[in-house]
Amino acid sequence: MTMTIEKIVEQALQDGYLTPAMEAEVGRICDTASELSIEGYMALDRLMGALLTGEVVAVPRKQFINVMEELVLTEAISRVAEIEATSGSTLDLGDIAAYALNRLPPLYATTEEGANFQRETAREELAELIADQVKQAIARSLDQPDFYPERQGIQRKSSDSVVNQVSALLQDHAYKFETVAQQG
Is there a contact between 98 and 37 (Cβ–Cβ < 8 Å)?
no
The predicted pLDDT at position 7 comes to 93
Q: What is the mean pLDDT of residues 29-36?
A: 80
The predicted pLDDT at position 13 comes to 93
d(CA 78, CA 81): 5
The predicted pLDDT at position 171 comes to 64
Residues 38 and 51 in one domain: yes
The residue range of the domain holding 132 is 65-143
Residues 139 and 71 in one domain: yes
The predicted pLDDT at position 60 comes to 76
**pLDDT at residue 76 is higher than 70:** yes
* Residue type, position 46, single letter: R
Mapping DSSP to helix (H, G, I), strand (E, B) and coil, where does residue 108 land?
strand
Residues 69 and 55 in one domain: no
What Cα–Cα distance (Å) separates residue 170 from each residue in 15, 23, 159, 165, 184? 22, 14, 18, 9, 20
Q: pLDDT tens digit string along 46-69? A: 999 999 999 998 887 777 889 999
Q: pLDDT tens digit string along 136-173? A: 999 998 887 666 656 665 565 555 566 676 776 666 65
Residues 124 and 88 in one domain: yes
d(CA 44, CA 71): 40
The predicted pLDDT at position 144 comes to 74
Residues 46 and 77 in one domain: no
The helix (run of H) or strand (run of E) holding residue 17 is strand 17-18
* Residue type, position 66, single letter: N
CA angle centred on 14, ends 24 and 47, rounded to 5°? 50
Residues 101 and 36 in one domain: no
Residues 131 and 73 in one domain: yes
Residues 24 and 69 in one domain: no
Instruction: Report the b/e string of 110-149 with b at 16+ CB within 10 A.
Output: eeeeebeebbeebeeebeeebbebbeebbeebeeeeeeee
Q: Is residue 131 domain-resident?
A: yes
What Cα–Cα distance (Å) separates residue 86 from each residue in 18, 61, 108, 120, 141? 48, 39, 35, 31, 16
As a whole-number percent, the residues of the chain with pLDDT over 70 amount to 77
Residues 50 and 100 in one domain: no
As a whole-number percent, the residues of the chain with pLDDT over 90 amount to 44
Q: pLDDT tens digit string along 114-134? A: 999 999 999 999 999 999 999
Q: Is residue 166 domain-resident?
A: yes
Tally of domains within the chain:
2
Residues 138 and 173 in one domain: no
Q: Is residue 149 domain-resident?
A: no
Residues 56 and 75 in one domain: no
Residues 52 and 112 in one domain: no
Q: Is residue 74 domain-resident?
A: yes
Mean pLDDT of the chain: 83
Q: Is residue 153 domain-resident?
A: no
Q: Is residue 118 domain-resident?
A: yes
d(CA 120, CA 182): 63
Q: What are the residues whose beta carbons fall under 8 Å from the beta carbon of 73, sequence distance 6 or more?
A: 93, 97
The predicted pLDDT at position 85 comes to 85
Q: Is residue 173 domain-resident?
A: yes
Q: Is residue 28 domain-resident?
A: yes
